[in-house]
């Protein structure tokens, strides 16, 4: 996949999320009677500008699309005509100023709720939480988990899909040393206790489910092509739907997983493929396209597995809810993910979770490109996740961020007077140092991931 695809997906994501964040500040400022001078998407040189009248808000698009801002009328920044003093931000009550500042992060949380709400109502097909055979030395195997077990609950959280299982386990890994799984098999229901000590320290590097030995069950699907992508390597080589791939470079294939493994390991390399088509056999040559995934080059030929209604019905579940239940689930998921992010930050500060879990713009761009490649649904869910992260980051009580201003306003409410200018200046220096350190860690982790 071209690097421009990843850059484009990243820029669109940041553009949408920053616009939502700044629009939250803008709309509440207007409702509170504050005059907004400029609404800027991006920083640096102005590319596009729109202003209907000199007294209206100026809307601008700038060259660096990595943020934005809303500039309000404020006596602390420039002289204000006496006729407009009532419209100045600094002249508003502390409660109104607090509402304006908090509106940005709140808008990001509201966007996540909206995305999840629509997703829960629209419905999505997901894997049932049926377990494959754990490796002998894995935590799951030692706990007695067996192939074919269905995970009904993780702790007190009911699970209907692998997404539910993953999310529930992540929440336990951060705090707990063990977690109970409620399992169902042909012999009935039972409880398995998983020891999870140390598995939550580096969630960026490791896949916690894989480390536990919990992988989704996959039936032995024959290497028969169900569909061929137009103009893909397989189509150009002459492969058709219904072809059974017998071997690649002489290596016999017995399942679809064998096919995926051989193709993925051969990006850009000519492969000799023997197929059975009806009663005939044919030899073809195909060159897998090179795709970047998690920093590694893998091969793809543009084919999909042949659908089997029986195993699809067993392995897939359709999750769809009515409007009210979907809204409740959307609010709960947004709340839980925001809380999980805060908990992770807290454990990083105390040293219980590795700082390697901090991601920078390169990693975010990678995830943006990958989710966009999967499809619109995955990309929109990625936007919800990043929107929550932006809200949580901005609510931290760090000067220069929205949370820092909220902290000042809460102090003003308690002390019944504004925080002194000297305190605010010291706070700005501390805030700048903290943010610079955070960005340094993020870039360092990005570079480390690329090199490794």
Among the listed residues 22, 126, 150, 293, the single catalytic one is: 22
Which residues, 6+ apart, have CB-to-CB distance to 425 below 8 Å?
Answer: none
Q: Is 22 a catalytic residue?
A: yes
CA atoms of 181 and 164, how far apart (whole Å):
12
What is the DSSP track for 347-402? HHHHTSS-GGG---HHHHHHHHHHHHHH-HHHHHHHHHHHHHHHHHHHHSS-TTSH
DSSP secondary structure code for residue 130 in this structure: B
CA angle 350, 354, 359 (to 5 degrees): 115
* Structure tokens that stand for 323 in this block: 């409007």
C-beta separation of 324 from 117 below 8 A: no
CA distances from 234 to 156, 218, 222, 263, 264 (A): 47, 24, 17, 11, 14
SS (H, E, C) 202-267: CCCCCCHHHHHCCCECCCCCCCEEEEECCCCHHHHHCCCCCCEEEEECCEECCCHHHHHHHHHCCC
Residues near 256 by beta carbon (within 8 Å), at least 6 away in sequence: 221, 222, 223, 224, 305
Contact (CB, 8 A) for 225 and 303: yes
Q: Are residues 419 and 412 in contact, defined by beta-carbon separation less than 8 angstroms?
A: yes
Residue pair 390/78 in contact by the 8 Å Cβ criterion: no
The residues carrying an active-site annotation are 22
């Amino acid at each position: 996949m071209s690097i421009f695809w990843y850059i484009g997906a990243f820029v669109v994501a940041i553009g949408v999320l920053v616009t939502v964040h700044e629009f939250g500040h803008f709309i509440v400022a207007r409702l509170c009677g504050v005059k907004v001078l400029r609404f800027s998407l991006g920083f640096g040189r102005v590319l596009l500008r729109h202003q209907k009248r000199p007294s209206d808000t100026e809307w601008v698009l700038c060259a660096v699309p990595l943020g934005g801002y809303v500039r309000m009328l404020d006596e602390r920044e420039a002289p204000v005509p006496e006729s407009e003093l009532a419209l100045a931000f600094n002249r508003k009550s502390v409660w109104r100023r607090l509402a304006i500042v908090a509106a940005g992060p709140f808008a990001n949380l509201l966007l996540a709720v909206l995305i999840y709400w629509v997703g829960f109502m629209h419905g999505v097909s997901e894997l049932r939480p049926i377990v494959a055979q754990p490796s002998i030395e894995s935590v799951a195997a030692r706990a007695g988990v067996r192939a074919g077990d269905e995970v009904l609950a993780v702790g007190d959280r009911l699970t209907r899909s692998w997404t539910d299982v993953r999310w529930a386990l992540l929440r336990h890994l951060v705090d707990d040393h063990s977690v109970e799984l409620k399992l169902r098999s042909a012999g009935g229901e039972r409880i398995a206790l998983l020891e999870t000590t140390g598995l939550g320290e580096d969630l960026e590097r490791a896949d916690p489910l894989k480390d536990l030995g919990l992988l989704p069950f996959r039936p032995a699907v024959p290497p028969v092509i169900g569909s061929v992508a137009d103009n893909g390597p397989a189509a150009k080589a002459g492969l058709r739907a219904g072809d059974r791939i017998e071997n690649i470079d002489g290596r016999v294939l017995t399942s679809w997983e064998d096919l995926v493994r051989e193709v993925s390991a051969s990006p850009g390399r000519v492969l000799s493929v023997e197929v059975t088509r009806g009663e005939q056999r044919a030899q073809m040559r195909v060159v897998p396209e090179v795709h970047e995934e998690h920093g590694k080059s893998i091969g793809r030929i543009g084919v999909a597995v042949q659908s089997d209604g029986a195993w699809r019905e067993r392995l897939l579940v359709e999750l769809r809810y009515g409007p009210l239940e979907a809204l409740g689930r959307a609010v709960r998921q947004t709340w839980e993910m925001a809380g999980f992010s805060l908990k992770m930050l807290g454990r990083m500060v105390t040293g219980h979770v590795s700082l390697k879990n901090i991601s920078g713009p390169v990693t975010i761009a990678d995830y943006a490109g990958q989710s966009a490649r999967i499809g619109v649904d995955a990309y929109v869910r990625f936007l919800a996740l990043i929107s929550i992260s932006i809200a949580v980051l901005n609510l931290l009580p760090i000067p220069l961020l929205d949370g820092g201003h909220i902290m000042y306003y809460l102090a003003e409410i308690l002390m019944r007077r504004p925080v002194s200018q000297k305190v605010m200046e010291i706070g700005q220096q501390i805030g700048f140092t903290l943010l610079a350190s955070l960005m340094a860690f993020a870039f360092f982790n990005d570079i480390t991931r690329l090199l490794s």
